[in-house]
Amino acid sequence: MTYERNFNLLNSKFKELFFPTLMASIAGNFAILADAFFISLFMGSSYLSVVQSIEPLAAFVNVVYWLIGLGGSILCTCAKAEFDDDKANEIFTISIILVVLISVLITVSGVLFPDFYMQVLCKSPQIRPLVSQYFFLYLIGIPFTCFMICFAYFIKTDGFIQLQFRAFLMNNGVNVIFDIILMKFLNFGIQGAALATTIGAVTSAIYILTYFLDSKGTLKFIKFKSSQLISNLIDISKAGFSGASIPLYTTIKLVFLNALITSILGEMGLAAFNMCYNTLFLVTIFIFGTTQSILPIVALYFKEEDYNGVEYVVKRSLKIVTIFGIFFTVLFAVFPQAILFLFNVKNASDIPLVLNAVRIYSLSILGYALNFLYIFYTQSVQYNKLSNAITVLEGLILPILLANILVYFLGANGFWISFCVSEVVTLLFIYLYSRYANRKYNDEYEGFFLIKQNDNGKIFEYTINGNINDAVNLSAEIQEFLSENKSATLVSMAIEEMLTNIININENVDTIDIIVRDSDEYILISIKDSGIDFNPIVENDNLEFDNISVLNKIAYKVDYSRILV
């Protein structure tokens, strides 16, 4: 009997992560749409120009928690994959301290130098007083937002996906409730929207700390050497920069594009841009949910050189992202009236402008979805130079350059068309580079995603059902595969011992993946299962069939890690 790998374990893990992460993404981004909706509902769609003026600051806040939270969580996952829990906790501690300090500095600088921020954010003297009102109350919530989201990245790697989801849900639920109370019933106006956002951030930041009340949590704050702070900061920043550069470039891009559209179409043009921007946020919710599901899986499997596993997850993600991209492109191109309803656009003179903007802008959605997936994939497999190049091209250079060029030749329509052209040019760049890299490295990489290729003659992949009979039969099959290697018998014994103990300690474990790598210097055995916590390094006196001492004697090294559970 041949036990070929069927990817059922990986597929179940992807599903397990995807739906909660998607819900967390919806919860995490819903506040932006909710604020825009209630502002347009209670105050009128023209007031969306105020929110759009603040978007560069909101994007810069994203830079902080993406750079540190996303970068730190990737390094934390890698440290756990290398069985270094002390390193994981050190990265966790440093990341949380840094994100709090930096976000507090942003708030303090905004309070001390408000005129500087207003000059950068708002080019229209008419709406500047309203922007200033929103700005001050929004500032207060920045440290709480950064802490909560950074913390959420880390606890997801520790398996606390539901807690992450509930924290985001609480953030948005509180925000929506106070939007209604403060704007409709207490007549706080635009200040009510900002205050509601801040109250939601404070509440969820407090709630997410309940992580420490759960005994299953493995992350904790520890003391660390001050001499290690700078090196860890550099490593965290390197790991998170390609992801964080997305909102960084968005910050710069929006400053220029807000000024450009205001000069062409005035405040209503800025409001229309905000509506288009929010349609993209709606798409981002689903794309972000997908990319955040694959990131920890791909990072882990790539670290273990399980390239077939990486390829499976990437192909699955590509299908999902493509479906979402096509759906939303068709939806907004064919039914742009949905945006009129969502943002309460009733002024007859504004309707043609908004409909035209949404129709053209929607054509960029599919390309945006594919590029976004590619950026996060290259980040998770540490193709940092490529990821950074794509991000700066798609997120900064092309949008600003093309918007100015096309506006010159096509007027206002050129502004909306530039977004679609930017995404197409970026995809073309990725395609050409992947072709170049495949030829340059002699087929070491393959395809659009440049996935590394295994030496199929020296790697064996298996999936078995969780029963003793399959474990024993697989052990014999592997010994036959490695018959020319003098360590074949020891390898088969080691695998049988590990599988037997995994099966015996679990009431039910459906599938187990086993990968054997036969190198010139050693044979590496990797086993993944979805069962309960079982550390083969520690002998268990309560386990009836515990022969793990045999494994520890015949193996040169045995490591164990509990990741993505």
Using pLDDT thresholds of 50, 70 and 90, give the confidence band for residue 208: very high
Using pLDDT thresholds of 50, 70 and 90, give the confidence band for residue 512: confident
Average pLDDT of the segment spanning 413-434:
96
Using pLDDT thresholds of 50, 70 and 90, give the confidence band for residue 85: confident
**What pLDDT sits at residue 90?**
93
> Looking at the predicted structure, is the pLDDT value of residue 545 above 50?
no
Bridge partners of 511, per DSSP, are 465
Average pLDDT of the segment spanning 351-362:
94
**What pLDDT sits at residue 191?**
93
The two counts, helices (H) then strands (E), for the chain are 19, 5
Average pLDDT of the segment spanning 50-69:
88
Using pLDDT thresholds of 50, 70 and 90, give the confidence band for residue 21: low
**What pLDDT sits at residue 20?**
64
**What pLDDT sits at residue 161?**
80
Average pLDDT of the segment spanning 519-530:
78
Pairing of strands 511-518, 451-452: unpaired
3-state class (DSSP) for residue 4? strand
Span(s) in the chain for CATH 3.30.565.10: 459-554
**What pLDDT sits at residue 553?**
60
Average pLDDT of the segment spanning 535-562:
56
Element spanning 517, H or E: strand 511-518
3-state class (DSSP) for residue 524? strand
Using pLDDT thresholds of 50, 70 and 90, give the confidence band for residue 471: confident
> Looking at the predicted structure, is the pLDDT value of residue 456 above 60?
no
In sequence order, what DSSP letters do the residues of 396-428 get, joined into one string? IIHHHHHHHHHHHHHTHHHHHHHHHHHHHHHHH
Using pLDDT thresholds of 50, 70 and 90, give the confidence band for residue 327: very high
**What pLDDT sits at residue 147?**
96
Average pLDDT of the segment spanning 514-528:
80
**What pLDDT sits at residue 34?**
77
| Residues 6 or more apart in contact with residue 486 via CB below 8 angstroms | none
CB contact burial 350-360 (16+ within 10 A = b; e otherwise): beebbbebbbb
Structure tokens at 56: 């560069």
DSSP character at residue 507: S
Structure tokens at 437: 């890299």
Mean pLDDT of the chain: 85
Average pLDDT of the segment spanning 453-473:
80
**What pLDDT sits at residue 444?**
80
**What pLDDT sits at residue 541?**
52
Using pLDDT thresholds of 50, 70 and 90, give the confidence band for residue 519: confident
**What pLDDT sits at residue 184?**
92
**The domain made up of 459-554 is a member of CATH 3.30.565.10:** yes
What is the rounded CA–CA span in Å between residue 457 and residue 484? 13
Between 64-78, 118-132, 496-510, 525-539, the lowest mean confidence (pLDDT) is in 525-539
Using pLDDT thresholds of 50, 70 and 90, give the confidence band for residue 68: very high
3-state class (DSSP) for residue 556? coil
**What pLDDT sits at residue 286?**
78
* Of the ranges 52-61, 202-211, 445-454, the best mean pLDDT one: 202-211
Please give the residue that has the higher pLDDT: either 20 or 3.
Answer: 3
> Looking at the predicted structure, is the pLDDT value of residue 2 above 70?
no
**What pLDDT sits at residue 81?**
72
What is the rounded CA–CA span in Å between residue 426 and residue 121? 28
What is the rounded CA–CA span in Å between residue 162 and residue 208? 11
**What pLDDT sits at residue 422?**
97
Q: Do the Cβ atoms of 197 and 35 come closer than 8 Å? A: yes
Average pLDDT of the segment spanning 361-385:
89
Find the distance separating the first CA and the last CA of the chain, reported in whole Å: 30
> Looking at the predicted structure, is the pLDDT value of residue 61 above 70?
yes
Bridge partners of 464, per DSSP, are 512
**What pLDDT sits at residue 461?**
85
Q: pLDDT, tens digit, for every residue of 159-200?
A: 888 898 899 889 988 999 999 999 999 999 999 999 999 999
What is the rounded CA–CA span in Å between residue 83 and residue 79? 6
Bridge partners of 526, per DSSP, are 515
Element spanning 51, H or E: helix 48-65
Between 319-333, 358-372, 381-395, the lowest mean confidence (pLDDT) is in 381-395
3-state class (DSSP) for residue 536? coil
Q: Do the Cβ atoms of 173 and 45 come closer than 8 Å? A: no
Q: pLDDT, tens digit, for every residue of 244-299?
A: 787 889 889 999 999 999 999 988 898 899 889 888 877 877 787 777 777 777 87
